[in-house]
Amino acid sequence: MKPQKPKTGVIVRRPVLDRIEGIHPHKMITYLTISVSCLLYAFISFLFIKYLAFELKGDVTFALPKFFTVSTIILTISGLFTSRLVKAYKNDEITILRKQLSFLLLSGLLFFISQSVAWIELLKNDPALENSKITSYLVIFTGTHLAFVFAGMIMTAMLFYKYMIIENDPVKTLIVVTNPSEKVKLEIYTTFWYFNLLSWTLIFLMLLFIF
């Protein structure tokens, strides 16, 4: 007896576990890392808000550095460059891909500079914060995020160097653009960079709302 075919118009959905098993291992590691980091940020944010609400009882006079806003704008602009990477790869536009990565490297560098200036501005305007518990929380927020951005910049530099080397070599370019793992690497990279963008935006909005 022949097996019955599914009726026309009926969508047969794969089980959730099958979909999870179909995810590339490197992507899975990235997703897990991002998930753990989100839980860490949420826990620290909870402790921070609890400290402000119950220990300081809302009695906080704190001016958010203007360069935190600049940092947010820089990362937001970098998201535009990130969104073009996979498309450029699919269209075999290695030169465009390399240029977008160079813009991302510059964005990361400017972000580091703006964060440094923000902390100089912060301590200069309010020296009392040097020994404040608020400063400890800000160091945790900005420090962990800078570590993630630094990791993203290392990935950016590695990809930039690779595409710069093969940019004028048709044979190497063909090998790269026909290799499925290269697309996976770019997708992992874009996901990680978007995480950096979103996490800092949420941190900035939280600080903006509190102070």
Provide the residue ranges of all domains of the chain, joining segments of one domain with +: 26-210
pLDDT value at 73 more than 70 = yes
pLDDT value at 128 more than 60 = no
Lowest mean pLDDT segment, chosen from 19-28, 87-96, 130-139, 185-194:
19-28
> Which pLDDT value is given to residue 95?
92
> Which pLDDT value is given to residue 99?
94
Please tell me the distance from the alpha carbon of residue 146 to that of residue 142, in angstroms, as a whole number: 6
Domain 26-210, CATH class in plain words: mainly alpha
User: What are the b/e assignments for 171-195, b being 16+ CB within 10 Å?
Assistant: eebeebbeeeebbebbbbbbebbeb
Please state, as a whole number, how many other Cβ atoms lie within 10 Å of the Cβ of residue 1. 3
Mean pLDDT of the chain: 85
> Which pLDDT value is given to residue 202?
94
